[in-house]
């Protein structure tokens, strides 16, 4: 997949799935903005050193997607650095630190935090980036296959990802006249380093594998191909869709 000269922002791009998106995009020739509250400068430096180019292929911009002004500054910096914005992967979200618990026991403050990042944060990121997509573009929202299954014990997370799925369809209609495509990727359980640290994850992972057509654990780089396709011009007639990438647990 050739994405040479496309400029793509990846929120939450420092680690896990986000890091794999960044590496996949740069390997395909894209110029990438790593937007994260965690320090992405070492990752950007590693990419730029490996590229052997005089121009930067990757930059890190600190961004808290729950803060509207932070999103606005991030998009402005991306545009001023590269001169255009062609794509956005809205990947940043609260997940790994959430405990599985009854919906009756979720603290109200935790509910609000999840919504502030996973829903409002995605909207604020998109709102900041779209004005710079003068020549059209591609937005990918990261949701979850959980919203199609009905999995208990993480209601706030599932509600937030269901909202992102609805947001994807509404924005695809709204931005279509501007040649901006909006799609979503819904991963299954993906074994990032942080997910591997969750209590009881090995038992959950083994149970999940049994539900899949492709019976192996999903790794972060399993999601890269879908993202590259949706960013690329090869998917220029695809918008408003949610692509489930989970090894065949959900078949729609």
Locate tokens 């492709």: which residue?
214
The separation between CA 191 and the C-alpha centre of its own chain, rounded to angstroms, equals 15
Q: Which residues is 244 bridged to in the sheet?
A: 186
Q: Distance (Å, rounded) from C-alpha 214 to C-alpha 201? A: 19
Q: Which of these is catalytic: 21, 79, 157, 175?
A: 157
Query: On the CB side of 16, how many CA atoms lie within 13 Å of its CA?
Result: 23
Q: Note if 157 is an active site residue.
A: yes
Helix axis angle for 224-231 and 16-27, nearest 10°, is 50
Concatenating the DSSP letter of every residue in 26-61 gives HHTT-EEEEEESS--HHHHHHHHHHH--SS-SEEEE
Q: Is 136 exposed, middle or buried (0-12, 13-18, 19+ CB in 10 A)?
A: middle
Q: Which residues are catalytically annotated?
A: 157
């Amino acid at each position: 997949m050739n994405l040479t000269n496309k400029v793509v922002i990846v929120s939450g791009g420092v680690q896990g799935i986000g890091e794999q998106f960044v590496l996949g995009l740069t390997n395909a020739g894209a110029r990438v903005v790593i937007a994260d509250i965690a320090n992405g400068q070492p990752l950007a430096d590693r990419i730029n050193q490996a590229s052997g180019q005089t121009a930067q292929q990757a930059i890190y911009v600190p961004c808290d997607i729950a803060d509207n002004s932070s999103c606005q500054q991030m998009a402005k910096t991306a545009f001023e650095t590269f001169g255009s914005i062609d794509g956005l992967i809205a990947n940043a979200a609260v997940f790994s630190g959430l405990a599985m618990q009854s919906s009756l026991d979720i603290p109200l403050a935790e509910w609000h935090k999840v919504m502030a990042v996973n829903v409002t944060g995605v909207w604020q990121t998109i709102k900041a980036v779209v004005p710079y997509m003068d020549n059209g573009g591609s937005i990918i929202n990261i949701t979850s296959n959980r919203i199609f299954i009905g999995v208990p014990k993480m209601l706030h997370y599932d509600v937030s990802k269901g909202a992102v799925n609805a947001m994807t369809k509404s924005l695809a209609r709204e931005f279509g006249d501007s040649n901006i495509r909006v799609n979503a990727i819904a991963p299954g359980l993906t074994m990032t380093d942080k997910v591997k640290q969750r209590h009881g994850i090995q038992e959950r992972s083994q149970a999940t594998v049994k539900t899949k057509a492709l019976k192996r654990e999903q790794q972060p780089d399993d999601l890269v191909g879908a993202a590259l396709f949706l960013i690329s011009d090869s998917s220029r007639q695809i918008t408003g869709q949610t692509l489930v990438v989970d090894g065949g647990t959900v078949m729609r």
